[in-house]
Structure 1
Amino acid sequence: MTDMWGQGRGQGPGYGPGGYGWGGAWTPPPPPPQPGVIPLAPLGADRILGGAFTTMRRYAKPLFGTVLIVYVVLAALMAGALALAYAAVSDDVRALLDRHTEFEWSHARPVFTAFGVVWAVGMLALTVGTAFIQSACTVVLREAVLGRPARFGAVWRRAWSRTPSVLGVGLLMGLIALIPAGLAVAFFVSIFIMLITQSVAPVGMLFLLLAVTAPLVVWVYTLFLFGPAAATLEEAGPIQALRRSARLVRGAWWRTFGISLLAGAIMMVVSLAVRVPLQVAMPDATPQAYQPGQSASDVFEAMLPKLGFVMALSMICNLLVQLVSSVFLPLVTALLYIDQRIRREGLAHTLELASRSDA
């Protein structure tokens, strides 16, 4: 397993306490070097979050440009898949929408199958796109830490070569997340069964299972949080990256969890700061007056102009929030990974040598 920053894992140069110079005067310790967005020393939460925002500002083109291109490709792929699916089952769709015909499974089955395939293709493409974005953000951060420019083509080549490994890490972590998700679905299904059968036994059992497994899943998920960064920067396979992450997080679980949770809370505040004013200022899309004899199509036509504006504005705001969160959260995770390697492996010395060799 190679390392994009070199093999050196010894202790770096001393940036420790100062000493007493001539005449007994106290000399403060030399400040750690900072060739890029962070000082090459153990980082606090403020440095990690600040480094993520600084990277977003200085490297906006390769970061947001990459994410935007991925989203455009995904949107084009979904539009093409939907068009192909509709072309394949257009007769069945028209038969289902015809008011004068009864509902028949012979028409509904191919429609559900076609659009189910579209959904599956879309989820697969989104998973691959997310893995590529995580890898690209980590590659850009590497250049940002060293104070070097991130060239668009180089970022894409490097990120794409590591996407399969990051995708494997994401799929394995997704399997972990399926446990509480499945239990939550089963819990709500059991509530429905309880309302019918008046039996509370399945609800209580599933609630206890959910209460026990949810913290365990959060613990394991945090333990493997550095997997995408290790897969990209250390060129590790999925299993190797997860093992590497577990070794780095062990002993710093609460710190990793707390800073990651804080980053998520920041993105939630940003999302609310964008969406709440939009909801307040958004025009009412409902028609001003409704006549008793008015048909549904007439009501829809009256709503269409305002509804289209509302949907377009909401889509743009959601896209902006998604762009920021897609970049910010992987950057924070990668900075936490770098911080742990600085603390445990003397990575600061390797980073300083790499930055000097490029100067």
Structure 2
Amino acid sequence: MNDTPGWVPPGSTPPDQPGDGRASDASGADRPGSADRPGGSSAPADQPDAPPQHPGAQWSRQQPPPGQWTAPTAPQGQDQAPGQTPPPPPPGPGWGTPPPAGPAGPGAYGGPGGWGGWQTPGYGGWGGPPPAAKPGVIPLRPLGVGEILDGAVSTMRTYWRTVLGISLIVAVFSQVVLVLLQGLWLKDTADADALGDPSATPEELGRALGDTFLVLGVGVLISLIGTVLATALLTTVTSRAVLGRPVTAGEAWRDARPQVPRLFGLVFLLILISGVVTGAGITPGILVVAAGSTAAGAALAVLGGLAGLVVTLWLMIRFSLASPALMLEKQSIRKAMSRSTKLVRGNWWRVLGIQLLAAVLAEIVAAIVVVPFNLLAAASSGGVGMFLTADGAAFSWTYLVISGIGAVIGSTITFPISSGVTVLLYIDQRIRREALDLELARAAGVPGYGSAPSGTTPGS
């Protein structure tokens, strides 16, 4: 085998070079020393009294085969003394030894900023976990409470044209219908004047209250329809925002339209369940009152009503993720409720806390906007209250228009928050239970995760 200049193959022992008083070891590195020392041992010239080394401390003449070792080199900028092995580098803050150097480009493995490099900032050493992919508004990993809330706000801020456009259209539609109902139907009803008349008979007050509750019931129905439509559209927008893909209102409607009837059915079924459970709790007390025990019946009705509310809350949290499951997985009503039950199981308190926090924040934001408009409307109409005012001022056009504007602004802001939190909570639970983050990364085209099958819905 021919020797390459400057390199001696391991395992070969070249003869001592004559005339220079230096001997070559098995690695091809010259060893300073004297040829006339006993036993052929060598020592530095400036240390004549150095004790002889034990034979076992020197390099063995039987070196490992080529390719299994690397000759030590001097640190950069310093000359390596012959026969001197450099000390190992100090341990870094990471776990274990740094990995071999890779491509030097930014983001490469082992390069500056590389996710696998030992110099990756934020993780101390090369053994730290790589940061989660974040193609959209959330990182693709289990989320914290703050990340869920921030994701909902980021969706509204990043895709504000689509999100606020959908919310504004739905809010305007709902409030216009409510204003017309209250301004035309209730104000023109003769019995409505009895609400502000101290001399009204009980029959007139009963009819006036009946008309008022009828209008309020219709208003709740209109608001419910608007909420369902906003939820359907914003669920699609939020699911695309997780992948970093914008979507227009028209595209969101085309994607959500086939599931909208089922979403209405789901919402009305949940309302029916709540009513039945609460009614079942109150019914025994009503029957006792009808039997003649007023005090005992009233106490039983109160206790039964509280128990019914507790059971209703428990059921509503269990089914709180049914809406995004129905929209994103294209499920039926029954399967969507079953999916929600499965995802919430074992995390009921966490889901309750996040949903409650989101509802409180949404109500605070709505109150900041709506309450000043209601006070301004009452003052402009000469009323003394926000609902029932003197001389029917609460139903004047001035009051209805000003308060309606405040309601539109409040709903435009709160719709995306409440809907976005529910969708992101659903995605978070699926990431924790079903590793949905891998599927989302593939759907978003993140390198290293493969490609998503064509024709699939991200998040399904």
* Fold shared, TM-score > 0.5 on shorter chain: yes
The alpha-carbon deviation at position 213 of structure 1 amounts to 2.2
Q: Is 1:321 the counterpart of 2:413 in the alignment?
A: no
Q: Which residue of 1 aligns with 2:146?
A: 46
The alpha-carbon deviation at position 317 of structure 1 amounts to 1.6
Partners in 2 of 1:280 and 1:228 — Cα distance? 35
Q: Is 1:249 the counterpart of 2:344 in the alignment?
A: yes
Q: Which residue of 2 aligns with 1:55?
A: 155
C-alpha contact (below 8 Å) 1:32/1:39 kept by paired residues: yes
- Output one character per residue of 1:175-230: Cα deviation in whole Å (capped at 9) or x when no partner: 2222465479879989xx79xx8931111111221232222211111000001000
Which among 56, 67, 70 is matched to residue 170 of structure 2? 70
- Output one character per residue of 1:2-50: Cα deviation in whole Å (capped at 9) or x when no partner: xxxxxxxxxxxxxxxx853428973221100100000000000000000
Q: Indicate the structure whose relative CO is greater, using CA pairs within 8 Å and at least 6 residues apart.
A: 1
**AA of the residue aligned to 1:155:** A
Q: Which residue of 2 aligns with 1:221?
A: 316
Q: Which residue of 1 aligns with 2:106?
A: none
Q: Is 1:355 the counterpart of 2:444 in the alignment?
A: yes
**AA of the residue aligned to 2:297:** P
Which among 231, 239, 248 is matched to residue 134 of structure 1? 231
Gap change, CA 1:172 and 1:20, over 3 Å in 2: farther
The alpha-carbon deviation at position 254 of structure 1 amounts to 0.7
Aligned counterparts, 1:1-359, within 5 A: 19-22=95-98, 26-27=125-126, 28-74=128-174, 125-179=222-276, 182=279, 199-277=294-372, 284-285=379-380, 309=398, 311-356=400-445
Partners in 1 of 2:142 and 2:303 — Cα distance? 40
The alpha-carbon deviation at position 168 of structure 1 amounts to 1.8
C-alpha contact (below 8 Å) 2:366/2:414 kept by paired residues: no
Task: Choose 311-320 or 133-142, whichever is displaced more.
Answer: 311-320
Aligned to 2:247, the other structure's residue is in SS state coil
Partners in 2 of 1:343 and 1:351 — Cα distance? 13
The alpha-carbon deviation at position 125 of structure 1 amounts to 4.8
The alpha-carbon deviation at position 332 of structure 1 amounts to 0.4
Gaps spanning 5+ residues in structure 2: where?
Answer: 1-93, 101-117, 119-124, 194-200, 384-389, 446-450, 453-460
Q: Which residue of 2 aligns with 1:14?
A: none
Q: Which residue of 2 aligns with 1:13?
A: none
Gap change, CA 1:96 and 1:245, over 3 Å in 2: closer
Gap change, CA 1:77 and 1:153, over 3 Å in 2: same
Partners in 2 of 1:212 and 1:96 — Cα distance? 36
Q: What count of residue pairs does the alignment treat as equivalent?
A: 313
**AA of the residue aligned to 2:318:** L
The alpha-carbon deviation at position 284 of structure 1 amounts to 3.7
**AA of the residue aligned to 1:171:** F
- Output one character per residue of 1:236-280: Cα deviation in whole Å (capped at 9) or x when no partner: 011100000000000111110001111111112223333455567
Larger CA Rg, structure 1 vs 2:
2
Q: Which residue of 2 aligns with 1:6?
A: none
**AA of the residue aligned to 1:349:** L
Partners in 2 of 1:284 and 1:82 — Cα distance? 19
Partners in 1 of 2:336 and 2:191 — Cα distance? 51
The alpha-carbon deviation at position 119 of structure 1 amounts to 7.4
Task: Choose 259-268 or 175-184, whichever is displaced more.
Answer: 175-184
Q: Which residue of 2 aligns with 1:295?
A: none
- Output one character per residue of 1:259-310: Cα deviation in whole Å (capped at 9) or x when no partner: 111111111222333345556777845769xxxxxxxxxx979x89xx7655
Q: Percent identity?
A: 32
Gap change, CA 1:274 and 1:181, over 3 Å in 2: farther
Partners in 2 of 1:324 and 1:142 — Cα distance? 19
Aligned to 2:294, the other structure's residue is in SS state coil
C-alpha contact (below 8 Å) 1:180/1:210 kept by paired residues: no
**AA of the residue aligned to 1:222:** I
Task: Choose 123-132 or 312-321, whichever is displaced more.
Answer: 123-132
The alpha-carbon deviation at position 313 of structure 1 amounts to 3.1
C-alpha contact (below 8 Å) 2:369/2:409 kept by paired residues: no
Q: Which residue of 1 aligns with 2:86?
A: none
**AA of the residue aligned to 1:341:** R
**AA of the residue aligned to 2:264:** L
Partners in 2 of 1:151 and 1:316 — Cα distance? 25
Partners in 2 of 1:272 and 1:119 — Cα distance? 20
Partners in 2 of 1:237 and 1:38 — Cα distance? 28
Gap change, CA 1:259 and 1:33, over 3 Å in 2: same
C-alpha contact (below 8 Å) 1:55/1:141 kept by paired residues: yes
C-alpha contact (below 8 Å) 1:127/1:167 kept by paired residues: no
The alpha-carbon deviation at position 78 of structure 1 amounts to 6.3
C-alpha contact (below 8 Å) 2:285/2:300 kept by paired residues: no
Bigger share in helix? 1
